[in-house]
Structure 1
Amino acid sequence: MEGLSPPGPDTVNRRPVAASGRPVAAGVVLWRGARTLSTIEVVTTVTRSADICWGQRYFWLHRHWIPTDARHDEHIVLRHDLPAKLSTARVRMALNHLVRRHEALRTTFHVGPDGGPRQVVHPPAPLAVTVAEAGPRAPVPPAEVIRQRTEADFDLTTEPPIRAVVVTVDDVPRQLVLVLQHIAMDDWSATALYGELTALLAATGRPATLDPVCDQPADLAVREAGVDGARRETDLGYWRAQVADLPADVYAQRRRPGVTESYSASLTSPSLLGAARRIAARYQVWPSVVHLSAYALLMAACTGGDRVPYWLFTSRRDTSADATVLTSMFAPMLMNVDLSGDPSMSKVIRQVAELLDRSKGHLVTSYDEMVELMALEGTRRGRTVRVEAEVNFLTYTPRGCGARRSRFTWNRAPAAWARSGADSYFRVYEWQDGVTVALRASGEVLDRAAVERFLRGYEEILNAHGDPATDLTTSEIARQVGFDGVDGCRVPPADRHAQPADQAGAGEPDLVATVAAVNGLDVVDPLDSYVVAGGRALRAPAVVAALADRGWLGLRVPDLLGIRPLRALAGQLTPAGSDRPAG
């Protein structure tokens, strides 16, 4: 790629034409080694903005939910071993071409004039690439450079959501590491980007053909904004009914407030792959349904509850006409599995399959709207409705895990994840030759022994149901796994501060005025919670920022999205530069 002359930083590729002047298929890029590009790109200056996409809303809210120094837990890291005889200039050229192709890689995120988040697409510019030399000449070891670039928070208002590190040995590139912010890329997008990068880097002396880029994230956002209002109301009604049936806290009987430890473990099992597929074939469902059913049964056995709610990370690509857009197109979907009446595995599988089908038919609703529904329901009950269990099913075939027998592993404590406020995060990785199940858990809800018991019990129960004669009930599973009788049985008291403070704090007028201004409200009652008063979840970060501009600190986004009245929240406000609370 040396000797090529890419378009300048103020241009973006549109439809290429051959040197003869005849149009060629959009997305086809012909590279001829170190000679010349055999297509001429028709370019035009482009800068545009749009609302963020539905799938991006979760990450916008989530990144403002957690502390700045813990946000790296949501970064995607891709490592690419580079072909031999490749120059750093050629790697840069490949990356810059991807930046031109995909607007997601040159988008920043801002609070718009109405207080809601906006994505702003910038003209292409060369991507900053960090070169880390390995060996005794290195001032900083490459591993440390990569750690720093991975763990540093993205300033999404000024920085593109991609970083690149090239590791060299004697100035020869050996590995490329990309760090992606999750608001710009989901797992599907990262995989597609990796494939394009591989094709470009391997194109030495022969053409590299990339699929056309038909749509960009801003196009998707415009189409999402145009969805029929009646359809959105129907979907909100469905989720409102689901939220009304939620338990206040699935971990209520296990919760031990004040415990600060967190745990992470995984279990890889070759036998789980065959067992899940046999069960799936028996009931004519996908293997993912089998895993979600097993999770619900183990959670019921673990918590002693008869309803198991959790957030299932669900791709919107299955139902979207925009399935190939490189952006985050997944979001947590609420699941609430009914385990009352001591159902057997077969009944739970059928229920989960039906629940998935119904819920996926109502995805014209975003995560922030679900947060608002839960806040309203909590206000109605006078108690926070808490769902902080997350589940993710990931298919990694055709890659293999290489395990020949079951292997249990304790992982490093998930310190950054623990600061997100989540209770548990369960993941299923389906490989070509096995299945890995991984669990992160806050010590408030699961101790070290319970985490191991959960994972080993999960393997035991699924393997047992590989036998068609086995159909265990929740209580039988609890006894077999060792969760018979919930540890601790401590039910936390009702929410503190659910009622407003007796008197208005000094910061209340500014808080009320800020909530009104950011959300475009004429009247805000300080005796209402933020959401009841009309505040939108997506605008909560703007409220926190505007309060800081007025000289008030002490409130976080999760505070605003709870059930406490604004008057009570005003008591948390602290004048900037003072250690004394305002209230």
Structure 2
Amino acid sequence: MITRRSAEVTFHAGADRSAHLTWGQQGTWDVFRQWLPEMKPFFVLTRWLPVPLLLELDDVLAQLAHLLERHESLRTVFPAGAAGEGSQHVLGRGVTPVEVLDRPDGDPVSFADLVTDFVREAGTTPFDHETDLPIRFRVATHEGVPVLVMFAVSHLAADHLSADLLVTELTELLRARADGAAAPPARPATQPVDLAAFERSVDGQRLNVDALAHLRDQLARLPVAPLPPRAAPATPRHWRGELASDAAAAALRLAARRLRASTSVTLLAITNVLVRTFCAAPAYPLDIMQSNRAAPTLRHTVTSLNQAVRLAMDVSGETFDDLLGHARTAMTAAMRHARHDGRAAARVARDAADAAPHPLPVGGQFNDRWSLTPRPTGTPPGLADLPGLTGRTTFDWPQKAAAEGMPLYVDASGPADRIHLSLMADTALLTPADIRGFLYAVEQIAVELAGGDVSLRRVTEIYDGHRMCDAAER
């Protein structure tokens, strides 16, 4: 029988510090307030990692303390002001609980089961950001010997890349402890309080002014109704399909090399060439999510840095190369204008909506985290390997929701050698068969692009073929 008990991690990191929220934190704060008490999957990020042999529980707790002391965002509370605005208060010292689950020898519950339970509980348990630290730890032991460390961190304190950084750093800390070596030094990184100060500086405000000017230009280019309803909606209305594919991962790299583009630009172009098949205008509103880690001082920062840039995404043209060029232009603009005051951007959007003779259309979001993962080691798959890799592709429906903020969300994540392509769509726009067909079409288009050009007519053929396939044939 699994037993539970509580341990503690004590951290000492100097003086308390306070500041207003950064632009990235503010955007996350506003989304939280929009949806809570309903929990959305991105509110809490979960990760887990093995503990090296020969470490005791006290060793693990000591490394968790190191992690908290290095990253101010993990020991920050976020008080709400009278008008609903947020702020951040970094604790210089404190204590946080750690749940310890011990599995006795012969127990039928596996450590995989413990991880599954942890992920499920984390996704349904919101943080009290005013009083609690934005991270929860759980250690799984076997007969008292640590085996796994799990943590759940609020998106207000970390984005996905931050969570991955924490896994890497904690792995290094535990390994050093097991080897009897000194803890590796912390990587240079701007702390959120200092980032908030920069954003209010002259240089920070220049970034904001440029981004808002770009947004005004894009809003002026939006058509009236680019994504019209096409079917009776299902219940619940929004469905998310996810395709996991070794073939698409390898093909995207091969295609990007052939096209002299990044994998992210290539994936965006493939997405747009499919959206074009049901888009009623030569452009549609698209938010392109950016990690905002181009600056060396932000590369190892743990906080919520990612922000979206709204664009009038051009899907006009006669060839795939035309759409590839539009995607390259859009991605460059998104990278340049991704750091901005989201509340100021919302005011710009409201002003544009008030001045427009028709309601501004709602579009989609493109979030490619997969392209940021390091390339796998070893010899990469070639063209001849792609047909065999498609046999490993899997598809699932991991989420259905009654309401979402947009009718179309495209997301790419997963390990370097197996991309997880996700599409959340309003079923009034795309039926479940359309959603599934869209994702399989992305894979096939990438495979064909790896070997040569693909016409827009061929894209329609591919998409129609996958849409007509019955789910039982998958």
Q: Same fold (TM over 0.5)?
A: yes
More helix by percentage? 2
SS in 2 for 1:158: coil
Q: Which residue of 1 aligns with 2:460?
A: 478
Matched, 1:106 2:79: no
* Distance in structure 2 (CA, Å) of the matches to 1:291 and 1:84: 41
Q: Which residue of 2 aligns with 1:451?
A: 435
Q: Which residue of 1 aligns with 2:338?
A: 363
Give the Å deviation of 1:330. 1.1
* Distance in structure 2 (CA, Å) of the matches to 1:191 and 1:146: 16
Q: Which residue of 2 aligns with 1:424?
A: 408
Q: Which residue of 2 aligns with 1:515?
A: none
* Distance in structure 2 (CA, Å) of the matches to 1:168 and 1:287: 41
Q: Which residue of 2 aligns with 1:157?
A: 130
Letter in 1 for 2:214: Y
Matched, 1:183 2:168: no
* Distance in structure 2 (CA, Å) of the matches to 1:367 and 1:297: 29
* Distance in structure 1 (CA, Å) of the matches to 2:243 and 2:187: 40
Q: Which residue of 1 aligns with 2:4?
A: none
Letter in 2 for 1:472: S
Give the Å deviation of 1:259. 4.5
Q: Are 1:418 and 1:442, in contact at CA under 8 Å, matched by a contact in 2? A: no
| Alignment counterpart, residue 207 of structure 1, candidates 172, 182, 202 | 182
Q: Which residue of 1 aligns with 2:283?
A: 307
Give the Å deviation of 1:262. 3.4
Q: Which residue of 1 aligns with 2:242?
A: 266
Letter in 2 for 1:252: P
Give the Å deviation of 1:326. 1.5
SS in 1 for 2:304: coil
Matched, 1:465 2:449: yes
Q: Are 1:69 and 1:152, in contact at CA under 8 Å, matched by a contact in 2? A: no
Q: Which residue of 2 aligns with 1:119?
A: 88
Letter in 2 for 1:241: D
Query: RMSD across aligned C-alpha pairs, in angstroms?
Result: 3.2
Distance 1:471 1:321, change over 3 A: same
Distance 1:212 1:346, change over 3 A: closer
* Distance in structure 2 (CA, Å) of the matches to 1:47 and 1:111: 18
Matched, 1:174 2:143: no
* Distance in structure 1 (CA, Å) of the matches to 2:137 and 2:9: 20
Matched, 1:63 2:32: yes
Q: Are 1:77 and 1:180, in contact at CA under 8 Å, matched by a contact in 2? A: yes
* Distance in structure 1 (CA, Å) of the matches to 2:172 and 2:466: 54
Q: Which residue of 2 aligns with 1:546?
A: none
* Distance in structure 1 (CA, Å) of the matches to 2:263 and 2:172: 32
Q: Are 2:288 and 2:334, in contact at CA under 8 Å, matched by a contact in 1? A: no
Q: Which residue of 2 aligns with 1:51?
A: 20
Counting only pairs closer than 5 Å after superposition, residues 523-542 of structure 1 correspond to structure 2 as: none
Letter in 2 for 1:404: L
* Distance in structure 2 (CA, Å) of the matches to 1:147 and 1:439: 21
| Alignment counterpart, residue 315 of structure 2, candidates 339, 356, 364 | 339
Letter in 1 for 2:426: S
Give the Å deviation of 1:433. 3.4
Letter in 1 for 2:460: A
Give the Å deviation of 1:336. 2.5
Q: Which residue of 2 aligns with 1:196?
A: 169
* Distance in structure 2 (CA, Å) of the matches to 1:424 and 1:309: 10
Give the Å deviation of 1:306. 2.3
Distance 1:366 1:259, change over 3 A: farther
Moved more, 445-454 or 280-289: 280-289
Matched, 1:316 2:287: no
Q: Which residue of 1 aligns with 2:100?
A: 131
Give the Å deviation of 1:188. 2.3
Q: Are 2:288 and 2:331, in contact at CA under 8 Å, matched by a contact in 1? A: no
SS in 2 for 1:111: coil
* Distance in structure 2 (CA, Å) of the matches to 1:377 and 1:225: 25
Q: Identical aligned pairs, as a percentage? A: 23
Q: Are 1:47 and 1:123, in contact at CA under 8 Å, matched by a contact in 2? A: yes
Give the Å deviation of 1:298. 0.5
Q: Which runs of 5+ in 2 are unaligned?
A: 1-7, 382-387, 468-474
| Alignment counterpart, residue 348 of structure 2, candidates 338, 352, 373 | 373
* Distance in structure 1 (CA, Å) of the matches to 2:9 and 2:55: 22
* Distance in structure 2 (CA, Å) of the matches to 1:345 and 1:185: 37
Give the Å deviation of 1:128. 1.0
Letter in 1 for 2:463: V
Q: Which residue of 2 aligns with 1:409?
A: 394
Deviation string, structure 1 residues 25-61 (Cα, Å, up to 9, x no partner):
xxxxxxxxxxxxxxxxxxx4x1121111122222111
| Alignment counterpart, residue 239 of structure 1, candidates 197, 210, 215 | 215
Moved more, 61-70 or 398-407: 398-407
* Distance in structure 2 (CA, Å) of the matches to 1:273 and 1:79: 24
Distance 1:410 1:125, change over 3 A: same
Distance 1:256 1:64, change over 3 A: farther
Letter in 2 for 1:423: P
Distance 1:7 1:127, change over 3 A: closer
SS in 2 for 1:61: helix
SS in 2 for 1:301: coil
Letter in 1 for 2:270: A
Distance 1:150 1:263, change over 3 A: closer
Q: Which residue of 2 aligns with 1:220?
A: 195
Moved more, 356-365 or 309-318: 356-365
Distance 1:211 1:418, change over 3 A: farther
Letter in 1 for 2:168: G
SS in 2 for 1:183: coil
Give the Å deviation of 1:449. 0.6
Larger Rg: 1
* Distance in structure 1 (CA, Å) of the matches to 2:47 and 2:9: 26
Distance 1:255 1:362, change over 3 A: farther
Distance 1:132 1:146, change over 3 A: farther
Q: Are 1:389 and 1:424, in contact at CA under 8 Å, matched by a contact in 2? A: yes
Distance 1:170 1:409, change over 3 A: same
Q: Are 2:9 and 2:96, in contact at CA under 8 Å, matched by a contact in 1? A: no
Q: Which residue of 2 aligns with 1:37?
A: none
Give the Å deviation of 1:369. 2.9
Deviation string, structure 1 residues 221-253 (Cα, Å, up to 9, x no partner):
101111344553333122111012223554323
Deviation string, structure 1 residues 67-105 (Cα, Å, up to 9, x no partner):
423245421101112222322222222111211121111
Q: Are 1:149 and 1:179, in contact at CA under 8 Å, matched by a contact in 2? A: yes
